[in-house]
Structure 1
Amino acid sequence: MTTYLLVPGANHGGWWWDPLVEKLQALGHVVLPTTPIGLDPAAEPPREAINLDDHVAQVTAALRVVPVQADTPAGRDVVLVGHSYGGSIISGVADAEPDRVRALVYLDALVPEDGDSSWSMTNEEEHAWYVSGSARTGAFVDPMPFFDDRARPHPLASLMQASKLTGAWRRVPVKHYVEATDWPGESPMAAMTARARGDEQFIVHSWDTTHNVMMHDGPDRVLSLIADL
């Protein structure tokens, strides 16, 4: 039995993982889909600034209350899966608790080094969205028009704050990166794909899918990748 901590991308919550959660649970795994602070569609809109540190602390706390599986090698019984912005979160969590994590899976996601932010890792198209999307509030980036109705304005500070990494996350023994190739132009994650391809610790996969890898056969693709990690 493995514990999967699933972290969504910007504007999204744990609901994004629903099709995958059911499949993993049917295999007997423990699945913890996370809704980052400030993105709960059932909660009141936040009034305070929320940054990347807050999201990393939230998911790290969730990992720390997971009971250690005594029969797992070296206590590594947790797989962290992050989509898009969620990659910055799982990197921070793995940096804080590298010896609890068996594998890191980045689904068309950010892969930060120390000092990187969502802004610094993405392209001008993404920057334009951060700017135009935050014009209404000055503090939160509104969802794209085609996002799910449950999507919520994303804390701008979490996209601008730099990751604080010691490098301990690199002790996690297994790292996968999925590149989504179905973009209308240059992918905002293109630099991340190149980074992963140039890093011998990563296994890189290219999927003919949109950035929203949960569409169509996405849950089955993700399941086939992570079910036996």
Structure 2
Amino acid sequence: MTTFVFVAGGWHGGWYFQELASALHQQNHNAFPLTLTGVGDRAHLLAASTNLDTHIEDVINFLKTERLTDVVLCGHSYGGMVITGVADRFPECLSSLVYIDAYVPKDGDSCWSLANETYRQRFIEGASKNGYAVEPRPGADIRTTAHPLASFMQKIRLNHWLDERIRKHYIYLSGWKDTPFTATYEQLLSDPAWSVYALPSRHDIMSDAPDKLFEILLTI
């Protein structure tokens, strides 16, 4: 039995991975899709001060409260920023990290610095209403909510940058033209510390290729 914890990307809550978690439960695994402060069913907690550190602490507090060990911690998109911070500050409860078409920051990086111009423009325009809450793009899933701008802007501070004892996996989704993750994928392909996968899916993997993601997670 494996314990999976899922951190969704920007604008998304735990609902994004709920069906996947249910499928893993049916295979006798534990699976917990988390909702970060200020999004999803916790949207009422969104404030100008909600930042990347807030989200990292969300996950660490959950792991501590539930007394979880040997966790496979999975992050999609922006969630890669969060799981990296968790691994740096609380590595002892983790066995693996799974970056699902996600940012893999080094010390001093931010989502803003790693994103491409398409996403930077989305951050700026999306926050034009009040200056701190980035609205979801038009046509997005009706369950998406505004996302705290500060979490996209804050630079991550890392002391260890991915403990060697934690296994690391990257799932690259090649089927969308605005991807900012191609360079990361190409770099990690030649890094023996990483297991790398590629799927011809768009970024919204839970709509495009949930079964493929499920299969990869079972091999992990």
The separation in 2 between residues aligned to 1:221 and 1:85, in whole angstroms, is 21
1:179-223 deviation line (CA, Å, top 9, x unaligned): 11111x34122233234234331111110000011114x221111
Checking the alignment, whether the CA contact within 8 Å between 1:52 and 1:159 is kept in structure 2 is yes
The TM-score with structure 2 as length reference comes to 0.93
The residue aligned with 2:195 is: 203
User: How many residues end up aligned between the 2 structures?
Assistant: 220
The residue aligned with 2:72 is: 79
The separation in 2 between residues aligned to 1:186 and 1:55, in whole angstroms, is 25
The residue aligned with 1:36 is: 36
1:221 to 183, 201, 212: 212
Q: Does 1:171 align with 2:175?
A: no
**TM-aligned CA distance change 1:161 to 1:77, over 3 Å:** same
The residue aligned with 1:20 is: 20
Moved over 4 A (4+): none
The residue type equivalent to 1:118 in the other structure is C
The separation in 2 between residues aligned to 1:47 and 1:112, in whole angstroms, is 24
Q: Per-residue deviation at 1:28?
A: 1.2
Checking the alignment, whether the CA contact within 8 Å between 1:3 and 1:79 is kept in structure 2 is yes
Q: Per-residue deviation at 1:48?
A: 4.0
The residue aligned with 2:143 is: 150
The residue type equivalent to 1:161 in the other structure is Q
Deviation larger for 185-194 or 132-141: 185-194
Checking the alignment, whether the CA contact within 8 Å between 2:43 and 2:145 is kept in structure 1 is no
CA RMSD of aligned residues (A): 1.7
Q: SS at the partner of 1:211?
A: coil
Q: SS at the partner of 1:214?
A: helix
The TM-score with structure 1 as length reference comes to 0.90
The separation in 2 between residues aligned to 1:141 and 1:192, in whole angstroms, is 25
Matches within 5 A, 1:112-151: 112-151=105-144
Deviation larger for 150-159 or 169-178: 169-178
Q: SS at the partner of 1:65?
A: helix
Checking the alignment, whether the CA contact within 8 Å between 1:78 and 1:102 is kept in structure 2 is yes
The separation in 1 between residues aligned to 2:62 and 2:162, in whole angstroms, is 17
The separation in 1 between residues aligned to 2:156 and 2:190, in whole angstroms, is 20
Q: SS at the partner of 2:207?
A: coil
**TM-aligned CA distance change 1:163 to 1:36, over 3 Å:** same
**TM-aligned CA distance change 1:126 to 1:43, over 3 Å:** closer
**TM-aligned CA distance change 1:148 to 1:133, over 3 Å:** same
The residue aligned with 1:188 is: 180
**TM-aligned CA distance change 1:172 to 1:8, over 3 Å:** farther
Structure 1 residue ranges without an equivalent (≥5)? 69-75
Kindly indicate which of the two structures has a greater share of residues assigned to helix. 2
Deviation larger for 7-16 or 89-98: 89-98
The separation in 1 between residues aligned to 2:4 and 2:93, in whole angstroms, is 12
The residue type equivalent to 2:18 in the other structure is D
The residue type equivalent to 1:124 in the other structure is E
Q: Per-residue deviation at 1:45?
A: 5.7
Q: Per-residue deviation at 1:64?
A: 1.7
